[in-house]
Copies of this chain bind each other. A is one copy, B any other.
Amino acid sequence: MTYCLGIVTRDGLVLASDRRTNAGLDQVNKVRKMHILERPGERVFTLLTAGSLSCTQSIVTLLQQDFEAGRGMAAADTFYEAVREVGRRVREVAELDREALERDNFTFNVSIIVGGQIRNQPHELYMVYPQGNPLRAAEECPFLQIGEVKYGRPILDRGVRFEKTTLTDAAKYALISIDSTMRSNLTVGPPIDMWVYHKDRLEMRQVRVFEEGDTELISIRQEWERHLRQAVQALPAIRFLEEADGND
């Protein structure tokens, strides 16, 4: 499995992903699922991929070849068009591989998160479905997730707001969301890749890898659990009708 997420706020973007990949529980590897396409000062895209590694590799390879040759996402006039290029490559690889996969009961289940910016345009966050169609993150729900999405969702639902969440805090939310997922699902695991993008910078800059045993990751996890327990203790006790009848 995999867990990737993107957060968009007024000030920029945070994208993060784990590196665990597995075919069953006994064939576990580490593979980077974050891919950066960049022309500093002009445009920057970060892609996060979930699903069959064989298929996502093909898609990213085709997009990178295009980008380096000045085609595809490098030539798109708008962010929307760039995301459509991703969808076009998703469909192309589906055309190549889907039938053979389905014959052996595998599904073509590739999902891709795309965040970034083209100069003089807003920063944007999208996901591309296995069918190649794009979905844009909205201010009302300023995050997108792919892969093992459920465990990491509650903290994002409760905390992240487009207008009010700073990028510094958005990075913490992303890390907590991934840490919650790792804790509850063995097939998501470190290293974690994180990219924080301040709008209008138009280059990657703030990239961070948290290895297994990263002291900052461990310290944030411990601090977070301590804060959570304190927060629960600080909540008022739930009242029951029968409370009045004794202290036992």
Known: A150-B150, A155-B154, A157-B184. A235 touches B231 (CB 8 A): no
**Does A225 interact with chain B (Cβ within 8 Å)?**
yes
Interface presence of A71 (CB below 8 A): no
Tell me which of B154, B207, B219, B229 contacts A154 (CB under 8 A). Answer: B154
Interface residues of A in 125-175 (CB under 8 A from B): 150-155, 157-159, 168-169, 171-173, 175
A115 to chain B, nearest CB (A): 17
In the assembled complex, A69 has its CB within 8 A of some CB on chain B:
no
In the assembly, what is the distance between CA of A239 and CA of B216, in Å?
Answer: 9
Instruction: Identify the 8 closest CB pairs spanning chains A and B, nearest first.
Output: A150-B150, A227-B231, A154-B180, A206-B240, A205-B242, A171-B238, A168-B237, A158-B225
Q: How large is the interface on A (under 10, 10 to 19, 20 to 34, 35 or more residues)?
A: 35 or more
**From residue 191 to 225 of chain A, which have CB atoms closer than 8 A to chain B?**
194, 196, 198, 201, 205-208, 216, 219-220, 223-225
Interface status of A104 (Cβ within 8 A of chain B) = no
A235 close to B172 (CB less than 8 A): yes
Docked-complex contact B235 and A223, CB < 8 angstroms: yes
Chain A interface, >50% SS class: helix
Residues of B contacting A176 in the complex (Cβ-Cβ under 8 angstroms): 232
Residue pair B183, A232 in contact (C-beta under 8 Å): no
0 or 1 for each of A85-99: is its CB under 8 Å from B? (1 = yes): 000000000000000
Query: Across the interface, do B155 and A225 meet the contact criterion of CB distance under 8 Å?
Result: no
Once A154-B154, A183-B157 are accepted as A-B contacts, the answer to whether A232 and B169 lie under 8 Å apart by CB is yes
